[in-house]
Structure 1
């Protein structure tokens, strides 16, 4: 257990340092960043050249891509801060800005993954009573609402004033917050957890109903031949959602209670909570590498564009290998 002296009130008072062993996490974050930036830039290029604004699901996927790119761009700031190699001002910037961007992007992604699941159920159910939900105008309205809601909850974490603390190699962002900042942070975590629970209910119910309809076609060999692949896709998407987001929210509540000093565990417990939070946050970040697969399976225009690119490259390669007469 590592402790450092604090200069706040008494130089002999030990300070509990929980984030002094971040090297393994940073290596994994760098790998995720490199994979994500490549995959999402390709996805951005494909969407620019194939975007179909007449389908609501494409609106949701483009917003999901925007959130993923924001989260990807915030990762280098987190890595530099976690390794303790960045200047003090850079570390403070991460705590005030880029760390908040990580959470903004996370919850925006959760919402749009929820909308994608609901939209898929709407396509299968083909209920005329629910037709308006699939209108592009409604999708755009919901997209604006999601961004405004998440920003309303999260932006105060950027704007509220911070306190001066002595410079140190390993900075815990909560140490910068004044009392009002800690209270808002706790409230923001509580509100986002409630939103996550509602979104997760919608995802599990929608995907469960989709699977029920798909599995009902097993008695018809012709229908099942087409439905079997969709069944696998929906199952994998649901499992990935649960693995990426549920563990983090299980850990986040006790970790935040310790951060805001609602509970006061000993230093060893704080370190365990921090490591659990970082491990589950890494699972959250992994969805950056999985979302481009969603674009391929859920956007017909995206899928067609990717296939066209590969076909054109294959034809050029084949033409280059034909020997000249």
Structure 2
């Protein structure tokens, strides 16, 4: 299975890590079923992630780009997160084809290099965008006026640019891992066993910088927002809405971290620590494959964040739907039209007659 490690520091490289025959000969351990498992598991899972992720994030981007009264820093971060997810899901059909062909790559060396690169640019950009989103929500709730400049739209675009440059630059070493001809098949998403010792060091740095640091930041924001909610007395409606959106953002981000990113980083580290050449740990290899699929599935869960915690997302969505489906004029049957006109005419005659009687009575009183 794909087996490369990720790094998140400018001097660190990263690659996908899945159990694969690159570390052990296909025929050295016939009891290993991990190869067969990945050929059955990955195509189905990646295809589901592709359909769900492409539709959810593509439509979310469309909604975010709809003209609206004002833009916010929260929507800027969410727009960049959705863009990262959409770019990643565009690479999944190539992975599906690779595993359906029995780990045989037919799309050339350059596209093979992009596969691993896109996987981890998406993973770690998602981690950082989710973390920054939670921090901005926390600051806007606890210190709404003191740190207003820090949550401006301009600063949001600057932070997004820094995140993109940092993640993309620190992952460029992944582009060095291309396709490899082995027998009558071309392997991709694989790693040479000679690089295994170096991967352990890179894994520790990626684990700390790419996951533990953002996860701790997210957890601290969660505890502080809970503390702020407990201290606050009955707040005004606007403040109560702000607290609820901040709490919703952080909770959804924590769920994505715990479900998608935490299992993968634990299993990846455990796999590297226990790895030995020509030894098959079938259960561990399959577990790593499942957690990698969960990590890829983060692009499917992020649209839930946009809907439940996005700034004016529901209003933008309603506006987009009304724009795409303008209301048609109501149609009436001829009899209904006639009855309506007759009723209107009778009502007008009654009003005229009533006014006439009032004027007559007034004339009598005047006499």
TM range (shorter): 0.7 to 0.9
Which residue is equivalent to 1:268? Answer: 280
Q: 1:51 to 1:98 in 2, by over 3 A?
A: farther
Compute the displacement of 1:301 (Å).
Answer: 4.0
Compute the displacement of 1:228 (Å).
Answer: 8.3
Which residue is equivalent to 2:151? Answer: 134
> Could you tell me how far apart the structure 1 residues matched to 2:214 and 2:85 are?
18
Matched, 1:149 2:166: yes
> Could you tell me how far apart the structure 1 residues matched to 2:177 and 2:249 are?
43
Q: 1:184 to 1:322 in 2, by over 3 A?
A: farther
Deviation per CA, 1:112-153: give whole Å up to 9, x if none: 000100010011012555444313333223222222222222
Q: Is the 8 A contact 1:255 1:273 kept in 2?
A: yes
Count of residues in Structure 1 that have an aligned counterpart in Structure 2: 309
Taking only aligned residues, the RMSD between alpha carbons, in angstroms, comes to 3.7
> Could you tell me how far apart the structure 1 residues matched to 2:69 and 2:206 are?
31
Matched, 1:303 2:320: no
Matched, 1:287 2:276: no
Which residue is equivalent to 1:192? Answer: 206
> Could you tell me how far apart the structure 2 residues matched to 1:185 and 1:97 are?
19
Q: Is the 8 A contact 1:251 1:277 kept in 2?
A: yes
Q: TM-score when scaled to structure 2?
A: 0.70
Which residue is equivalent to 2:41? Answer: 24
1:206 equivalent among 221, 232, 237: 221
Compute the displacement of 1:220 (Å).
Answer: 2.9
Q: Which piece of structure 1 moves more, 131-140 or 286-295?
A: 131-140
Q: Is the 8 A contact 2:207 2:265 kept in 1?
A: yes
Which residue is equivalent to 1:3? Answer: none
Q: Which piece of structure 1 moves more, 116-125 or 92-101?
A: 92-101
Compute the displacement of 1:12 (Å).
Answer: 7.7
Q: TM-score when scaled to structure 1?
A: 0.78
Larger radius of gyration: 2
Determine helix, strand or coil for the equivalent of 1:90.
coil
Q: Is the 8 A contact 1:114 1:203 kept in 2?
A: yes
Q: Is the 8 A contact 1:19 1:274 kept in 2?
A: no
Q: Is the 8 A contact 1:52 1:58 kept in 2?
A: no
Compute the displacement of 1:320 (Å).
Answer: 5.6
Compute the displacement of 1:50 (Å).
Answer: 3.5
Deviation per CA, 1:48-101: give whole Å up to 9, x if none: 224788532222112111111122112112222222357533386665221221
Deviation per CA, 1:182-238: give whole Å up to 9, x if none: 566555433321121101111111122223323444x63876975785445643442
2:93 equivalent among 60, 64, 76: 76
Matched, 1:246 2:257: no
Compute the displacement of 1:287 (Å).
Answer: 2.2
Q: 1:239 to 1:163 in 2, by over 3 A?
A: closer
Compute the displacement of 1:38 (Å).
Answer: 1.0
Q: Is the 8 A contact 2:260 2:295 kept in 1?
A: yes
* Bigger helix fraction: 1
> Could you tell me how far apart the structure 2 residues matched to 1:55 and 1:11 are?
53
Q: Is the 8 A contact 2:29 2:280 kept in 1?
A: no
Unpaired runs of at least 5, structure 1: 1-5
> Could you tell me how far apart the structure 2 residues matched to 1:69 and 1:173 are?
20
